[in-house]
Amino acid sequence: MVTVTGYQSGVVQFAAHYGIDLKLLRRPTAEDWSGKVKDIVVELKFRGVVSSDEKPIVIQMKLGAKDAEEETHLLALKAQGRLSIETAPDTVFYDSDRNVITSELRWWLPRQLGILNKPDGGPYTDKIDLGNHCVLVNHGEPDEVIRAYRIP
């Protein structure tokens, strides 16, 4: 039996006679913790790619067209000031058929940078070979066909 207020003497005698355990539910005291672990403190040091105002992550990509027609289109978009590439944390890379070939940039980039093998603090300057990875440009513009451009 468990109570938070205690037991009368008759209850204590009755329980003792019949082998009933009586427990008092209360807040622990300092004596209760003597010789026992009371607090567990865990210190975690996260290592990852984090962008801040003091140390921003800057990603520079160079676009390359697969043929002369795409190159003309790319240059025209640039000249018009209409060339935009998504670089949000959920951005992914595509193959030339527009199939997703990487995880989101927020998960993919730290693995490519090998951040766990580098000293804390940076700055880090890394060049990642993107081979035939593609990005979509001008995503969501109503008058623009979404095109995937190769990253040389």
Asked whether residue 72 is assigned to any structural domain, the reply reads yes
- The DSSP letter of residue 148 is E
Asked whether residue 133 is assigned to any structural domain, the reply reads yes
Q: How far is it, in rounded angstroms, from Cα 105 to Cα 107? A: 5
Asked whether residue 74 is assigned to any structural domain, the reply reads yes
Asked whether residue 76 is assigned to any structural domain, the reply reads yes
The band of 22, judged by pLDDT with boundaries at 50, 70 and 90, is: very high
Please say if the pLDDT value at position 92 is more than 80.
yes
Segments forming the whole domain that contains residue 72:
68-150
Domain count, the chain: 2
Determine the pLDDT at residue 149: 59
Please say if the pLDDT value at position 18 is more than 90.
yes
Please say if the pLDDT value at position 91 is more than 80.
yes
Q: Stretch 94-122: mean pLDDT, rounded?
A: 80
Asked whether residue 91 is assigned to any structural domain, the reply reads yes
Determine the pLDDT at residue 8: 92
Question: Per this entry, what is the length of the chain?
Answer: 152
The single residue listed with the structure tokens 């693995």 is: 111
Q: How far is it, in rounded angstroms, from Cα 143 to Cα 135? A: 18
